[in-house]
Amino acid sequence: MAQKTVVLGVTACIGAYKACYIVRGLQKAGLRVRVVMTEHATELVGPKTFEALTHEPVLVGMFDPETEDSIPHITLANEADLMIIAPCTANTLAKLANGIADDLLTSAALAMHCPMLIAPAANVHMYEDPSTQANLATVRERGWTIIEGGEGYLACGDEGYGRLAEPDAIVAAALEILEVQPDLAGTKVLITAGPTREAIDPVRFITNYSSGKTGYALAEAARDRGAHVTLVAGPTALEDPTGMDVVHVTSAQEMFNACEAVFPSTDIAIFSAAVSDARPKIVADHKLKKGIDDAALTTIELVENPDILATLAAEKLGQVVIGYAAETNDVIANARKKLEKKHADLIVANEVSPHKGFGTENNKLIFVTEKGEEEAPEASKAKLANVVLDKALTLLLEKRS
């Protein structure tokens, strides 16, 4: 199937930076993106940013010297399978509703003979003004799709409706219009998250500092990319993500049992949980007391827990198996040992420190495979989740080729 093209119009709203995420989301679905901007929009986000993302020239003026095309608005209209305007200011919306074409963006919109998707954004009073609402009604009557934003705190300081819809919602609407499936559609993904707890007695346990944020970010990103996700989560303070199967466990043995049940039908398994290596051999049936149970309190005999990653990786039949390695020293060397010992396809390594790893919002990862190492710059766990999924999908396609 020929690659589809989306023309993305960007107007002068403070939310224009979010258009960068829209571009990325569309590209992840395999779409070509052309960007056209209003002149004032370039004061908020530079055209070079979009050129770097799309590897295409960004068009601004009707007679832009960077293009030899004498009728760029017609060329754009002929190339487009969908036009998105996001953010769309109240001013641009008014032009669109009334057929005014006084710049390249509105001229291209008037020339379009493909579906149109509009994501308006404005100050709450401008947004709720009767003229803006009438313009929205007008373009709806033409069959255009409107993705309205939510209510909340606006950049101007006011509160109310007018915020630009989230990029993921805009991308999802675009894919639905184009009947394009996300890149992980039809794929089953198993993800583990959080710590495990190994009971000592009814009130004490062995655990670690894992917050579960990495695993939950992976699960949400995989869901958003169309995968059927099973999240096996140890005890965390995080809310259950929607749109997936969530299995709550406490101990390493419970996590192993839950993963073992799902793994055979899984395409990609990502073991990001911080699983306790050992558990008390004997679990007291009462709270251990000083002066009464001193021996049990001061000497706890441990037995090894099942190695979830190694056991399931040894049973893989075409699945991509990814493990995480949180290390305090010799990060790459320890990750490579883990890769070989556990028979994983990829180890995602990170250094644990007060500002990285457990409980933080950002992370810095190193990908270790048989072919070598690759470092990902420090970024949010949500952003890194998609980087990990990109790696997983590449490995899956290699196995199936």
**Residue numbers annotated as active site:** 156
Question: Where are the strands (E) in 121-181, listed by range?
Answer: 145-146, 151-153, 159-161
| Tokens coding 246 | 């969530």
Cα distances (angstroms) measured from residue 28 to each of 175, 389, 390: 11, 11, 9
Q: Among candidates 2, 57, 58, 5, which has minimal Cα distance to 31?
A: 5
Whether 252 and 305 have beta carbons less than 8 Å apart is answered as yes
User: Residue 143 CB: number of other CB atoms within 10 A?
Assistant: 8
Dihedral sign, CA of 104, 106, 112, 116?
positive
DSSP 302-317: EEEPP-HHHHHHTT-S
Beta bridge partners of residue 153, listed in sequence order: 159
Dihedral sign, CA of 240, 246, 248, 253?
negative
- CA angle (151 as vertex; 164, 50 as ends), nearest 5: 15
| Tokens coding 244 | 């997936």
Q: Among candidates 81, 9, 13, 14, which has minimal Cα distance to 50?
A: 9
Whether 139 and 97 have beta carbons less than 8 Å apart is answered as yes
DSSP 88-107: E-HHHHHHHHTT---SHHHH
β-strand 151-153 against 5-10: which pairing, if any? unpaired
Q: State yes or no: cis peptide before 87, omega within 30 of 0.
A: yes
Tell me whether residue 73 is exposed, middle or buried, using C-beta atoms within 10 angstroms of its C-beta: 0 to 12, 13 to 18, 19 or more.
buried
